[in-house]
Structure formats: C-alpha cells, structure tokens
Amino acid sequence: MAEIVNVAVDAMGGDNAPAEIVKGAVEAINEDKRVKVFLVGRESVIREELRKHTYDASQLEIVHAEEVIETAEPPVMAIRKKKDSSIVKSMYMVKDGVCDAFVSAGSTGAVLVGGQVIVGRIKGVERPPLAPLIPTENGVCLLLDCGANVDARPSHLLQFAKMGSIYMESVIGIKNPRVGIVNIGAEEEKGNALVKETYPLLKNCPGINFIGSVEARDIPAGAADVVVCEAFVGNVILKLYEGVGATLIKKVKSGMMTSLRSKLGALLVKPALKKTLKTFDTEEYGGAPLLGLNGLVVKTHGSSKAVEIKNSILQCIAFKEQKINEKIKEKIMLEN
C-alpha cells in the first residue's frame, strides 16, 4: 500500500477563501487516496463549507487557527506576531513532521518568510527559489525564480539550475533536462552583469545540461526544460505569460461567435480546441514549490480556484514519492 502524503492547506488564504480552497481540497482527496488534507483555519467557517461536499472523512482533518495573515501585512512582523494564524500553524506542522507539505494561496511574503524561518533551508542551499511549471508547445518547463529572490547572485542562479534539474527529471520525468538562462540575446557576451557572471558558472558545471541563453519569446516554444533567472525577471515573464494566455483564449472564443459560419465551425472544433487550450492553462499545473527547504512549501496564485488548489495538493504526492528533498540534500552536500 502506498504511503499517505499529509498536506496542510491554508484554508483562509487567497481571494477565494475559504470556499474554493475547501472545494479544491475535497476534489484532491476524492481523486487520490494517497493524500490526506489538514485544512488549517477557522474551524466553524471550514465546517460550514464542508457541508456542501461529499468526501471520505478519514482523508481530511480540520486544524483550528484563529488568526489570518492578510496580504498587505508586513511579512516578517506577521509571522512573528500571528502565531495562531493558518500560515504559521501550517508551517510548524511541516517543520514538526506532522505534514509532508503545505499549500497556500495566501500572502506570498508571509509564505516565503515562514518557509525560510520556520521550515528552514536545506543545509548548503543559499536561497530557495519559487519554481512554477509553465506550459510550452511540447509540454512544460520550470521557471525559477519567479518571486522569491529579486537580488540574486550568480551562485544562487547556479543552485537554481541544479535544483530545477532534479525536479524536472524526478517529477516530470525528463532525462537530462535542458537548462537555459533568460537573456536578451543568444550570444554569450550579451546580458546584464548578473547574466554575464552566471553564464560561465552554468557552462562549466558538469552536473547540468546547459544549452546557453534563452530569449523570452523562445520559452513558450519549449526551448529549455529549466529556465533560470532572478525573481524580478521571472515574475514579469510569469505574469505576462498568464495575461497573454488568458487574452488569447478570450479572443479565440469571441472570434468564434462573430457569424453563423464561425459558430458552426466552433461546434466542430470545440472538443479539440478545449483540450488544446486546457494544456495552456497555468491552473492545470498546480502551484510553485519553494525549492531547497527542509519540507515542501507550495505557493499558489492569490486568485486560485478549486482546480489549482486540487492540482497543487496532488503535486505534493510526486514530490514526496520521488524524494526531491533527499536528492537536493545529496547533491548540495556532495558539492560542499
């Protein structure tokens, strides 16, 4: 029998909490018997939402947390003062080994601070990056960092490439994943100081399959499996990616409704189009793991609906089963 993966879920975090969070958690346990969810937050509110759903009670537990960390609060102060918040309680459940992972759509700052201060970094990891999977023409690629370290150094980016390679090979199953660094041109001499200093480190690293610079326009085409950059650049790429994707889907749908002929054509292509558009929906790939911590912390969009919460919980199964943290520890320790 497969080992159960215990996941703490911040029931109070995000724009659509608690309804969509609870719904996503229920959908996850209904889909996979290998996961048990601990919904952390105000018990009365969670119970009220759970009454709307049918689920196996043995796969779900409520952990009461009275306080909520709001998005606008200073993260360090919030983590320090709100010990009875859903984010802090969940983090301690991971730190203490009660849970294998934590999923939150709440305050990004609080999740990043709590991950490092409470769960803690793997020894030797300099900076943990946020690493979302983003859709490409051929499947997916891992973008890191997309929001945790805006002032990264070359050594940080080198570690991102190593951890990202482990994740893509173990979780996604891509052997010897191609690593590229985001740049404004393909030539080695191009880029800002950070890119120019990082390039030779990646090029001379025997543990990764470095293919050189990757321009932003080449990312959707699947030019690399692991795309490395500092968080400011990564966040801009991610948000533009999501915005363009959503706009294109709207334009395609509206274009199909312009005339009787287009409506008839839409009926014929609808099944294939729906399947294709679904592959380019970032919600389908879950949240962004914060790689390099002693436990798994996954940050989802603040606007997450149930499907993203469900997929974020389910991705924790592969993370544990493939022993990602153990592999990162082993690689980092060998090099230190």
- Round to whole Å and give the CA distance between 63 and 277: 37
Of 241, 262, 284, the position where a domain reaches its end is 284
> In the prediction, which pLDDT does 329 show?
87
> In the prediction, which pLDDT does 332 show?
79
Q: Which residue has the tokens 């390679």?
A: 165
Residue 60 pLDDT class (50, 70, 90 cuts): very high
One domain, residues 42 and 179: no
pTM: 0.89
> In the prediction, which pLDDT does 187 show?
82
One domain, residues 279 and 135: yes
| Token pair recorded at residue 47 | 């119970």
- Round to whole Å and give the CA distance between 230 and 220: 19
Asked if the model's pLDDT at residue 281 lies above 70, the reply is no
Q: How many domains, in total, are found in the chain? A: 2
Q: What is the mean pLDDT of residues 176-188?
A: 93
Range of the domain at 181: 130-284
One domain, residues 251 and 172: yes
> In the prediction, which pLDDT does 277 show?
58
> In the prediction, which pLDDT does 150 show?
85
CATH assignment at residue 142 = 3.40.718.10
One domain, residues 227 and 307: no
Of 246, 261, 284, the position where a domain reaches its end is 284
One domain, residues 270 and 179: yes
> In the prediction, which pLDDT does 265 show?
64
Specify the range with the lowest mean pLDDT, choosing from 117-121, 136-140, 276-280: 276-280
Asked if the model's pLDDT at residue 284 lies above 70, the reply is no
One domain, residues 12 and 134: no
- pLDDT one-digit tens code per residue, 84-119: 999 999 999 999 999 999 999 999 999 999 999 999
> In the prediction, which pLDDT does 116 show?
94
> In the prediction, which pLDDT does 78 show?
94
Residue 244 pLDDT class (50, 70, 90 cuts): confident
One domain, residues 119 and 134: no
Sequence-distant contacts of 236-241: CB under 8 A, at least 24 apart: 237/143, 237/146, 237/182, 238/132, 238/134, 238/143, 238/146, 238/147, 241/134, 241/282
Chain centroid to Cα 270, Å, comes to 29
> In the prediction, which pLDDT does 3 show?
86
Q: What is the mean pLDDT of residues 249-278?
A: 67
One domain, residues 118 and 3: yes
My answer on whether omega of the bond before 18 falls inside 30° of 0, hence cis, is yes
One domain, residues 180 and 63: no
Q: What is the mean pLDDT of residues 151-163?
A: 95
One domain, residues 140 and 263: yes
13, 86 in Cβ contact below 8 A? yes
Average pLDDT, whole number, for the chain? 90
In the chain, the amino acid numbered 14 is G
More confident of the two residues 190 and 259: 190
Of 266, 284, 302, the position where a domain reaches its end is 284
One domain, residues 184 and 249: yes
More confident of the two residues 258 and 185: 185
> In the prediction, which pLDDT does 121 show?
94
Residue 283 pLDDT class (50, 70, 90 cuts): low
- Round to whole Å and give the CA distance between 231 and 270: 37
Specify the range with the lowest mean pLDDT, choosing from 153-162, 207-216, 316-325: 316-325
More confident of the two residues 275 and 70: 70
Can you list the positions of beta strands (E) in the chain?
Answer: 5-10, 35-41, 60-64, 101-104, 133-135, 140-144, 178-182, 209-214, 226-228, 288-289, 296-299
Residue 149 pLDDT class (50, 70, 90 cuts): confident
Helix (H, G, I), strand (E, B) or coil at 286: coil
One domain, residues 8 and 101: yes
Helix (H, G, I), strand (E, B) or coil at 293: strand
Spatial strand order of the sheet with 178-182 comes to: 133-135, 140-144, 226-228, 178-182, 209-214
Residue 249 pLDDT class (50, 70, 90 cuts): confident
Share of the chain above pLDDT 90, in %: 70
> In the prediction, which pLDDT does 174 show?
94
> In the prediction, which pLDDT does 271 show?
67
